[in-house]
Structure 1
Amino acid sequence: MNQQKARRDSLAVILGQIAIALAFIWAVVLLGGGLWRILRNPTVQSSTQSPQVETFAQVQNVPSGVFSYGGSNTWAPIRLKIDSAIQSERLGFQLRFTQPNTSMANSTTAIQMLIDDQLSFVQSDRPIAPAEYRQAEQRGFKLKQIPVAIDGIAIAVNPNLKLPGLTIADLQGIYTGAISNWQELGGPDMAISLFSSPKNDGTAQFFRNDVLGNKAFAQNIEIFSTTTQAIRRLSKTPGGIYYASASTLVPQCSIKTVPIGQGARNFISPQKEPARADCLEQRHQVNLAAFRSGQYPIARYLYVVVKENKALDARAGNAYAEFLLTERGQDAIAQAGFVRIR
């Protein structure tokens, strides 16, 4: 009898341990996505812990002066909606957008200009690269990135191309050159024409790292220095494909965006459904809910990049980020087609 009781007690202990293990695994499954995002983007957690203020007028420690800034064209809708409003309400805080002399404005050139003391802060559409951190430290200072919004990357094709959607694996095959005809993906028998922004552009770097798994772009890719040029070409190229910020591509009427999924059965559109019949009368809207929830698989943070010191330029960059993180700033970010992080 004592042996049977001991066996029952031992079995009960084992079953209890199994139940605890299963509960732990289930918790990880439920929370994994959120934990992964926080671990991958530790600055996001720290940036959203300070109390949020409502208006630009409530932001503290704002320096006076004229401050030069630059960065990605992805930020253009935010600059248009927010920057002039900040300067109107905080008259002592004036901004001057500065482009590089020898190349197009993008995150890479702007961060280099920040390191070279040509800018006060940067509007970046990608994280700071390890080489940029090292270069700054060699100059005697550190760089800091402050996340202020989430941006989805949309994939666009010619409006006449019939295609239900694309998976991440499809995009990898297309942009590395492994897939060269739309027929391979259930479309028409038509060669794929690859369009991209310059390879040193923040969006192109993000796309290569996060979508292509750091694989090289195909050799036959056609580069466009501006999104406007790429959209015009795409609208006239039946087999063309292009990627850019959803805030820029979704409202366009001469092209169409494609639903994207991790697998073939869970395509998510970057625009609100249903599509509007007359785009020119009422533009398509970005599917912010899908980006916010993580259902749409290609998204990134937008950052304000500053020098991590007590100099006037660093104070200006921190103040600018605080303006964007106010309730008013986050509302304007959502109106511009991006996802608020507060």
Structure 2
Amino acid sequence: MDNTNQRRALINGEIGLFLRGLIIGKVLTLLVIGGLLWWLLKPNLLTRSGVGSSSNQSLNTTSGGNASNFQTVADVPTNSFNYGGSTAWAPIRQVVDAQIQSARPELQLHYVHPVNRTPGSSAGIKMLLDGQLDFAQSSRPLTDEEKATARERGFTLEQRQVGIDGIAVIVNPSLNVPGLTIEQLQQIYLGQITNWKQVGGPNLPITALSQKPEDADTVIFSNKSNLNQQALGSNVKYVYSTTEAVRQLSKIPGGVYYASARAVVPQCSVKPLLLGRSSNELISPYREPLVSPDQCPRQRNQLNTEAIKNGSYPLTANLYVIVKQNKGREQQIGEAYTKLLQTDQGQKAIQQAGFVGVR
């Protein structure tokens, strides 16, 4: 019995030594693995704490359109500034500018309505030339006349593109016409096509509605100055605004009007037409299928942003910030506002407002 107990004690002791050795071995193994992992990850940790900070500093001092958000744009002036211009920019003023001022409360933007003049790109640029605005928003390029006026006054104007808008052609919902080519649209407004039967529609006189060329935000000719020099057709009826045109189109079976796609495509009382560079490549400014008036406003036509973005839709307008180059506060805010809109956050907000970004 004594020998048996001794053997058991010996065995138990050996097992204890074995288990302690096993535990110590595991601990040593874990320590080795942990040290190895720390050594391997050390460069990355240093990069995050050191190089990462330098990268953030670089973003914070960026002066171009590569900044990721409103906070990373440098040299944003602290003050109150006046701006105005294109009526097509109204959704941007509501959506994008509200986000900018929330992120940068030191910057206060105030929209100024023109006095005794139709609101629009032309009015905004004129007010900028006259010193009534610090920068302007335009949905058309600067004209040679506007550039010359600026030079005469001792400064220059520059246009900085920040977005793209489609130009949609709308008609009365009852009008049955397959669509229009850009050339046909231009001929309508020059009085060369006066009946819808000339473009595959019913025998119905065309009533072309338009803002006055000098006030229009959107243009259907390649250069706005060309439109100013052209005598529009006698069938053209001038309206004060897009709101007025939409209201009149609902009462005129043969009426037609063109404007910012963002503004008119979702309207319930009109129908957007397909447009094309040729009659066999007509593209809709809305996402098909077409929502009929009796479905609206429960459903509304949505902008065909993909076609506008890839260039298949043939009639678009670039959205510009007009910057006064005078080395003063106007230039500083104009350039800062442009940079804010060109950030990733700004471009996303422009898309939220219903337009297409340029990045």
The DSSP-based 3-state class of the residue aligned with 1:203 is: coil
Distance 1:143 1:325 in 2: 19
How is 1:66-77 mapped onto 2 (pairs within 5 angstroms)?
66-77=80-91
Larger radius of gyration: 2
Distance 2:298 2:235 in 1: 37
Q: CA deviation at 1:216?
A: 2.8
1:337 is matched with 354
**Residue identity in the other structure for 2:220:** F
**Residue identity in the other structure for 1:57:** Q
**Residue identity in the other structure for 1:62:** V
How is 1:33-48 mapped onto 2 (pairs within 5 angstroms)?
none
State the Cα RMSD in Å.
Answer: 1.8
The DSSP-based 3-state class of the residue aligned with 2:240 is: coil
2:13 is matched with none
1:121 is matched with 135
Distance 1:100 1:229 in 2: 18
1:103 is matched with 117
1:146 is matched with 160
The one of 300, 308, 313 equivalent to 1:291 is 308
**Residue identity in the other structure for 1:136:** A
Question: 2:241 matched to 1:226?
Answer: yes
Question: 2:339 matched to 1:325?
Answer: no
Contact 2:84 2:111 in 1 (8 A): yes
Question: 2:203 matched to 1:192?
Answer: no
The DSSP-based 3-state class of the residue aligned with 1:148 is: strand
Q: Deviations over 1:319-342 (max 9, x none)?
A: 111111111211121122211101
Counting matched residue pairs gives 293
Question: 2:303 matched to 1:303?
Answer: no
Contact 1:172 1:211 in 2 (8 A): no
Q: CA deviation at 1:152?
A: 1.0
Moved more, 212-221 or 223-232: 212-221
Distance 1:179 1:262 in 2: 17
Q: CA deviation at 1:213?
A: 6.4
Q: CA deviation at 1:81?
A: 0.6
Q: CA deviation at 1:84?
A: 1.6
How is 1:137-286 mapped onto 2 (pairs within 5 angstroms)?
137-203=151-217, 206-210=219-223, 214=227, 215-276=230-291, 278-286=295-303
**1:210–1:165 CA distance, 2 compared to 1 (3 A):** farther
Distance 2:345 2:105 in 1: 17
Distance 1:210 1:166 in 2: 20
Distance 1:157 1:120 in 2: 37
1:25 is matched with none
**Residue identity in the other structure for 1:92:** E
Q: Deviations over 1:56-114 (max 9, x none)?
A: 11111000111000101011111111112211221110011011211121111211211
Which structure 2 residue ranges, 5 or more long, are not aligned?
1-62
Which structure 1 residue ranges, 5 or more long, are not aligned?
1-48
**1:286–1:305 CA distance, 2 compared to 1 (3 A):** same
TM-score, length-scaled by structure 2 = 0.78
Distance 1:118 1:172 in 2: 34
Contact 2:83 2:110 in 1 (8 A): yes
Distance 1:57 1:187 in 2: 53
Distance 2:65 2:155 in 1: 28
Contact 2:65 2:342 in 1 (8 A): no
